[in-house]
Structure 1
Amino acid sequence: MRLPSLGRRYRFGRRYRFGRPAALVAGGYTAAVVAAGVVAATGKGGFLFELLSFEAGSDDGESPAGWPLLVLVLAGAAQGWAFWQILRGPVAGNRVRRRGAVRALRWALYTDLVLALLVYRIIDFSVPWWANILWCLLKLAIVLLFHRVLTGASRMLRFTALAAGTLTMTASAGAQVCEALGLQAAGELLSSALLDGMLWSLWTALVLVAQARDGRWGRTTVWAGALDLVVPLAVMPLVLSLSLSLEVFGSEALTGLMIVFQLLNPVWLARSAHDLAGSYPGAARRKARTGAGALPDAETARVRAVSGLDVHQLTYLIDDVCPAADAVVRAETAQEEREMREWDEEEQRMCDEAPRHRPRIRPATATRVEEPVWIDYGVLEAYEETEESDPFEDGLLDLAQKNGLAAALPGHLMVRIHSDAPTCLTLETYTRRPPVETRGWQHVVEVGYRSPGGLIELGDPMSGPEYPDLALRGRSGDYRIRVHYAWLPWEGEKYGAQRLLVMAYPGRGDDVVVHRKRTGP
């Protein structure tokens, strides 16, 4: 039997790829802040300060009251909003194949985000000098990748940003090295080249201008970056001045403002990476398509000669009011959608033309998942929750890495596959042990699994169960799970899609049997 579009209906049921868990985290945190604010109003503000600062025992012994308490609660709500922006991921159902500099930039931004949050925001860990140098090199890579990706921006803007960002990160790394080697004079000279952070602010401002014009990034992304640039340069000095001279603001207002400010850069990093993952209306293509060998008129040439601005770069800013620009946007949007459909259809053909498994004995159930399977973190998991088990702490991933394909513990089953290729999935359940099959497969591993509840549903660990139950008519107890894996060649390429067959049948034993060692990547 064929599964009728289960995967696609489930994915398009959410606006964002990780929307549900992100909403749970953000909503839970915001609710906890509000509850802690209510408790703080009674004179016990310790928990509120711990929530806001992520530091145990951060209470200063005094609980705020009145509007200062409201400021802190609002700052906590802003922190919950930031968690949502960071954790929700890209728009669901909008997976677009990104390669080269775009894909490298996304992962560089995510890496910078994780390091910034874990090291400086949550753990508050003092990193050694060599780690700071590596971090400078990561940021230098981001500078270079933005230069490659922002091809729609003017040459002047791009190369000015490249120079400012490269000089900043090179000087920062050099200053770290000089400090570690005791070369104080050289380190101070390099630090002075940074102009108190003004060069990095210039890079940020130029990148934000390019993002705003590009069309691949949303308004929230650009505004988060702009506020991250403006708040420390203008807002915070103003608030601090008024607080010291006129006593208009108390320490709670400064604390709340600091909390909000610390969120802006992580939100910009996350949103910049998220927005690059989805489809966009071809904003990088700035040519208006009026025919081969045709475009620019005398006025366009005059504007370019006087200001260095290609007016076609404004296409995606004026399409709501300019019919000609709207026609360009519509044409390029249609082209992008056509390319996405063709890509989806090609992936579907891969699985449609994949060899069908012919069971050697009659299975109790057999499902060939109709649509190609996509996952984000390289694993399919089935998890049956019990009081004794914790899927995040049981070390199952380490066990799966030993044979490279599958592992199981009571209530937790894991299958490893490649995250950047579609998977053609077949699931079969038997009443008795099926014959071992290795022909046509590149890797075959069998593991023992104990089902506490008789519900073995594989799925993406971030999305939850998505595929039919492997348990035999709801039977709990001991099972053997046999996993078969192979790459499918496609149009002259050795590695097109992945073919995955998972068999389950009642059987005792928790030993791992490798029926065929891996012969592919």
Structure 2
Amino acid sequence: MRRYRFGRIAALVAVAYVAGVGMVVSADWITVAGVVVPVEPPHLMELGPWARWVLLPVAVLQGWALWQVLRGPVLGGAARVGWPGGAAGWLRVALYASVAHTLLLHLWPPDDAEWATWSGALVRLAVVGLYVPVLAASLPRWVRLGAFVAGIAAVAADLGYGPGDTPIWLLWAVPVLVGQARDPRWSRGTVWTGAIFAAAWLLRPTSFAIRFPRELDPGLLFEVAVVALGALGAVWEARSAHELTRPPETA
């Protein structure tokens, strides 16, 4: 059985989160809905009086995501890469910073939205740039450079300097996932987590790919499911960082 550096602490946090949601959902579920499923504006009320129980499986998924994020690298595995450890070490720093940024925005939305947008953009640019040398052994140079350009374009689009609601982010994510699949440092579970997140991202409520009328209950449930799967983005980044503790030749 695998043991993780912060496995027990991560498990306690995950269980406490799910238990907290379960305790509050029966009383003030509208407030909890804004945290568990941050759909703007929240339309769960339209599903009827049983809608509060939709939050429970979502909270379980998020609790699992918290455990994945907080547990750290596997103990007793291959030799760790020292800090900063070159490009791989700096990529770990950037990935952890991105995960922390995501969690902070989810739990404590800032009053200054512009600051949050720009700080997130800087972190994403670091991740995009550092994947270029880290994937040198698994992707041709022209693929890495193309992904690099697509990643910069996706960040620029998020900042309002390009067309919004386009799948341009996938032009960066797909090559990265292919590179991870060819690199022995990353497990198949990590790659599949990223792939599912990419599919959910394409179907997100603000995407061109999904437009459900509010009166259609299955559409609302699907929207909630897609938003909930957004937690897999943090899991993908965290697992990618955890598994970068192993050098390629010993993975």
The TM-score, its normalising length taken from structure 1, stands at 0.41
Q: CA deviation at 1:89?
A: 0.9
- Matches of 1:71 and 1:132, distance apart in 2: 30
Match status 1:71 vs 2:54? yes
Once the two structures are superposed, residues 374-417 of structure 1 have per-residue CA deviations (whole angstroms, 9 ceiling, x without a partner) of xxxxxxxxxxxxxxxxxxxxxxxxxxxxxxxxxxxxxxxxxxxx
Is the Cα contact below 8 Å between 2:69 and 2:235 reproduced in 1?
yes
Shift of 1:88: 0.8
Cα distance in 2 for residues equivalent to 1:171 and 1:63:
33
- CA–CA distance in 2 between the matches of 1:146 and 1:213? 14
Q: Tell me whether 1:20 sits opposite 2:4 in the alignment.
A: no
2:21 pairs with 1:33: yes
Alpha-carbon offset, residue 134 of structure 1:
4.5
2:130 corresponds to which residue? 145
Please give the alpha-carbon distance, in whole angstroms, between the structure 1 residues aligned to 2:243 and 2:13.
21
What is the distance in 2 between the residues matched to 1:114 and 1:102? 18
TM superposition shift of 1:172: 5.8
CA contact (8 A) 2:14 2:64 kept: yes
Secondary structure at the counterpart of residue 249 of structure 1: helix
Shift of 1:260: 1.2
Letter in 1 for 2:62: Q
Query: In 1, are the aligned partners of 2:143 and 2:175 still within 8 Å (CA)?
Result: yes
Q: Which residue of 1 aligns with 2:76?
A: 93
Relative to structure 1, the CA distance from residue 16 to residue 163 in structure 2 (aligned partners, 3 Å threshold; closer, same or farther) is: same
1:125 is matched with which residue? 110
1:115 and 1:235, CA in 2 relative to 1: closer, same or farther beyond 3 A?
A: closer
Spell out, residue by residue over 1:12-31, the C-alpha distance to the aligned partner (whole angstroms, 9 max, x if none).
Answer: x9701000010011122223
CA distance in 1 between counterparts of 2:158 and 2:19 reads: 41
Q: Does 1:191 align with 2:159?
A: no
Matched, 1:268 2:251: no
C-alpha deviation, 1:112, in angstroms: 1.4
Report how many residues are paired: 242
Identity %: 36
- Which residue pairs with 1:102 in the alignment? 88
Deviations 1:159-198 (A, max 9, x none): 211221234446766x5xxxxxxxxxxxxxx424xx6443
Task: Determine if the alignment matches structure 1 residue 203 to structure 2 residue 189.
Answer: no
Partner Cα separation in structure 1 for residue 29 and residue 156 of structure 2: 44
Q: Deviation of residue 82 (structure 1)?
A: 0.8
Cα displacement (A) at 1:227: 2.2
Deviation at 1:74, TM superposition (A): 1.0
**For residue 154 of structure 1, what is the amino acid of its counterpart?**
P
Give SS of 1:209's match.
helix
Taking a change above 3 Å as real, the CA distance of residues 59 and 29 of structure 1, as seen in their structure-2 partners, is farther
Task: Tell me the SS of whatever aligns to 1:191.
Answer: coil
CA contact (8 A) 2:29 2:52 kept: no
Cα offsets for 1:493-519 (capped at 9, x unmatched):
xxxxxxxxxxxxxxxxxxxxxxxxxxx
Secondary structure of 1:153's partner?
coil
CA distance in 1, matches of 2:116, 2:54: 36
User: Is 1:162 paired with 2:148?
Assistant: yes
More helix by share: 2
Contact 1:15 1:91 in 2 (8 A): yes
CA distance in 2, matches of 1:62, 1:149: 47
The whole-number CA distance in structure 2 between the counterparts of 1:28 and 1:110 is 22
* Root mean square deviation of aligned Cα: 3.5
Counterpart contact for 1:109–1:273, Cα < 8 Å: yes
Distance, in Å, in 2 between the alignment partners of 1:83 and 1:117 is 9
User: Partners in 2 of 1:50 and 1:154 — Cα distance?
Assistant: 43
TM-score (normalizing by structure 2): 0.78
- Matching residue within 65, 85, 95 for 1:82: 65
Q: Distance in 1 between matches of 2:202 and 2:44?
A: 28
Contact 2:37/2:224 (8 A) holds in 1: no
Q: Output the CA distance in 1 between the equivalents of 2:235 and 2:29.
A: 27
What do residues 23-59 of structure 1 show as CA deviations (whole Å, max 9, x unaligned)? 011122223334455x36xxx64575366259xxx99
| Structure 2: tracts of 5 or more residues without a match | none
Give the corresponding residue for 1:219.
Answer: 188
Instruction: Determine which of 32, 37, 52 is the counterpart of 2:36.
Output: 52
What is the 5 A alignment of 1:159-308? Answer: 159-169=145-155, 190-192=161-163, 196-234=165-203, 240-241=211-212, 244=214, 247-249=216-218, 251=220, 253-254=221-222, 256-277=224-245, 279=246, 282=249
Describe the shift of the 1:163–1:123 C-alpha distance in structure 2 as closer, same or farther (beyond 3 A).
same
From the CA coordinates, give the structure whose radius of gyration is larger. 1
Residue identity opposite 1:158 in structure 2 = R
Q: Structure 1's 281 and 128: CA in aligned 2 closer, same or farther, altered over 3 A?
A: closer
